[in-house]
Chain A
Amino acid sequence: MATTTPTQAHGQGKDVHGHGGHDHDHAHVPGLQHHFNTPEQQKEAATLGMWAFLITELMLFGGIFMAYIVYRWGFPVHFVDAATHLNTPLATLNTVVLLVSSLTVALSVHAAENGKMRRVLLLFGATIMLGFGFLGIKGYEYAEKFAHCNGYSTPIAWATGTGQHAVDECLVPGRAFLYPESHGATHGGEPAPAAPTTAGAPTPYQLFFLLYFMATGLHAIHMVIGITVMSVIGWMTWRGKFSPAYFNPIEIGGLYWHLIDIVWVFLFPLFYLI
């Protein structure tokens, strides 16, 4: 077999294509890697590969959701009470931001299908901006919690050194964790148990905030990765790498972005709306 030359391979008949023949055939197919035979095959491989990766991402978050389910079931009263300390209006705003970004991504794939690469770039820019917006709002939420730990009411007050926080509380898990007095939320007529007044005492409240920071933090990390991916693909678009015949990276990058959205769709009601 080692001596089989491309010429001989061609001689074997129409149904067998020599390797050399393949290279020749594919010279004009943009973006087709040598080990694939057809663009359809390559696209199916890319899509399937991305979905398989998204499965792993969902399973990754699944571990945190599992812990959440167990402790929500174990400490329902604590969780309902603790959730009142999260900033639901900001989270709602963030949900809108994410949904819009999902739309821009979906539209960019549509534009790429039709070869409107300028529009793809614009939509990618919008997506990345929305991603940063999401991270900014998220960061503000985190900063608020840290500001409370340091005795200030808002991050801005913390930065300028004015505006003491009225309540002595710290909702960042750790040695300084201090849950303020209950808001009077009840669970089936049963008031939330009083929180210990010593800082750092392990309570179900701390479990809630730990899960909150882990889940949203991991989600934010995925957002950072998503922004990076979108920037790289946007750069590739700008360099003119894609055409209506080949835009797999745009499509699978979009899949990744939508996954970030899906995770948030579950995080939002589970943490903010209980």
Chain B
Amino acid sequence: MADTTHSASHGNSHGVAHGDAPHGHIGLRTYTFTFIGLLGLMFLTVGAWWVEKNVLAIPEWLGVTIAMAIASAKTFLIVYYFMHLKISSRLVQIFASLAFVFLAILFIIVMGDYFARGWPPQQGPLP
């Protein structure tokens, strides 16, 4: 929250200083490469799935990890380039990460409870 410069940059004085306001620019080349990267990652994840089903039996946790890593990479590409996070103010960058942080809190705490309880949950708490 220590963005005191931020307030100055949006102050009411008219010759507004740019400060950390968006000033970058993303070119067509970057968009194209991002898109190609996204397509590549998509085929990678489908390919990994096909290999897992038909060629090489890998443990499920590894398969899920690979799939989620690829999905995260795709999300990063979309958020960082397509959604202009790269050239956004620091504040917007922080906000963009908030949802992921709080979702992680939800997932980790709830799954912590389930791991401690065991499955099926109807059995109740572990001794």
Q: Give Cα A268 to B75, complex, Å.
A: 13
Chain A residues numbered 96-139 whose CB sits less than 8 Å from any CB in chain B: 96, 99-100, 102-103, 105-107, 109-110, 113
Contacts of B81 in A (CB 8 A): 106
Tell me the minimal C-beta distance from A41 to chain B in angstroms: 5
Q: Which one, B22, B48, B79, contacts A262 given CB within 8 A?
A: B79
- Chain B residues within 8 Å of A268, by CB: 45, 71
Point out the residues of chain A lying under 8 angstroms from B39, CB to CB. 96, 99
Given contacts A17-B14, A41-B10, contact A273 B38 (CB under 8 A): no
For A107, the closest partner residue in chain B by CB is: B31
Contact B14–A47 (Cβ < 8 Å): no
A40 interface neighbour in B16, B28, B45, Cβ under 8 Å:
B16
- Report the count of interface residues on B (CB-CB < 8 A): 58
Closest to A189 in B: B57
Q: Which of A25, A69, A110, A274 contacts B31 (CB 8 A)?
A: A110
How far apart sit A111 and B51, CA to CA, in the bound complex (Å)?
40
B74 contacts across to A, CB distance below 8 A: 265
The SS class assigned to the B binding surface is helix
Of the listed stretches A50-58, A140-148, A170-178, A213-221, chain B binds A50-58
Give Cα A11 to B102, complex, Å. Answer: 51
How far does the Cβ of A234 sit from chain B's closest Cβ, in whole Å? 19
Q: Are A40 and B10 in contact (CB under 8 A)?
A: yes
B12 touches A273 (CB 8 A): no
**Which of A52, A55, A107, A187 touches B60 (beta carbons < 8 Å)?**
A187
Question: Interface digits, A181-197 against B, CB 8 Å rule (1 contact, 0 not)?
Answer: 00000011000000000
Whether B60 pairs with A76 at a CB distance below 8 angstroms is: yes
What does DSSP make chain A's interface, helix, strand, loop or mixed? helix
A59–B49 contact, CB under 8 A?
no
Query: B34 to chain A: closest CB distance in Å?
Result: 8
Q: Which of B23-61 contact A (CB under 8 A)?
A: 25-28, 31, 34-35, 38-39, 42, 45-46, 48-49, 59-60
If A66-B110, A273-B49 touch, whether A110 touches B35 (CB-CB below 8 Å) is no
Flag if B12 contacts A70 (CB, 8 Å).
no
The distance from the CB of A107 to the nearest CB of chain B, in whole angstroms, is 6
B83 smallest CB distance to A (angstroms): 5
**Are A59 and B103 neighbours in the complex by a CB distance under 8 Å?**
yes
Residue of B nearest to A84 (CB): B53
Q: Are A59 and B102 in contact (CB under 8 A)?
A: yes
Residues on A with beta carbons closer than 8 Å to the beta carbon of B45: 268-269, 273
For residue A15, which residues in chain B have a CB less than 8 angstroms away from its CB?
Answer: 13
Whether A99 and B35, one on each chain, are in contact in the complex, defined by CB atoms closer than 8 angstroms, is yes
A22 shortest CB reach to chain B, Å = 9
- B35 close to A103 (CB less than 8 A): yes
Closest Cβ–Cβ distance, residue B62 to chain A (whole Å): 12
Least CB distance, A170 to chain B, in whole angstroms:
25
- B residues neighboring A (CB under 8 Å): 9-10, 12-14, 16, 18, 21-22, 25-28, 31, 34-35, 38-39, 42, 45-46, 48-49, 59-60, 63-64, 67-68, 70-71, 74-75, 78-79, 81-84, 88-89, 91-92, 95-96, 98-100, 102-103, 106-107, 110-111, 114, 119-121
Spell out A's residues near B (CB within 8 Å): 15, 17, 25, 37-38, 40-41, 43-44, 47-48, 51-52, 54-55, 58-59, 62, 65-66, 69-70, 73-74, 76, 80, 88, 92, 95-96, 99-100, 102-103, 105-107, 109-110, 113, 187-188, 251, 254-255, 258, 261-262, 265-266, 268-270, 273-274
